Amino acid sequence: MKTFSAKPLEVERKWYLIDANGATLGRLAVEVANILRGKNKPQYTPHIDTGDFVIVINADKISVSGKKETDKMYRSHSGYPGGFKEISFRALMEKTPCKAIEKAVKGMLPHNTLGDQQFQKLKVYAGEKHPHEAQKPIAYELKGDK
């Protein structure tokens, strides 16, 4: 019996719609990352992009547990002197709520060109509306808490 290996041209992609209203950030990000990688499919192959497209709506209504609302910090450095920036979770949610989900999911994908390919299939929107009705997305129910 030979080992199955998916071929890039044979992969069928679906569109999933996930409502983030009341969902916990980390638990949501895990499920989104698994769909983007294709781990929910039987033909999953680690070195091939077998994942599906994911649309996340209501990104502004996600929650975090404990004191992360005030204590969680997002840090970055440009590499230049004085190039250190940091922003709290609460400030990030007020400024651009989609970034919190994008950063959480991006950290769970491979850190290479394959991960970049998979990350491009993620579409995050702060409100209820999204411009992807033509793709007929399938509503996806989160397994965890809500």
Are the C-beta atoms of 70 and 41 separated by less than 8 Å? no
Expressed as residue numbers, the domain containing 45 is: 13-64+97-139
Residue 20 corresponds to which tokens in the numbers above?
A: 């983030």
Domain presence at residue 125: yes
Domain presence at residue 74: no
| Residue 54 to residue 96: CA distance in whole angstroms | 19
Contacts of 146 (CB under 8 A, 6+ apart): 22, 23
pTM of the model: 0.92
Confidence band of 143 (pLDDT split at 50, 70, 90): confident
The distance in angstroms from the start CA to the end CA of the chain is 43
Q: What is the pLDDT of residues 85-101, one digit of tens each?
A: 999 999 999 999 999 99
pLDDT at 145 > cutoff 80: no
pLDDT at 144 > cutoff 70: no
Helix (H) or strand (E) holding 17: strand 15-19
Tell me the CATH number at 104: 3.90.1180.10
Provide the number of structural domains found in the chain.
Answer: 1
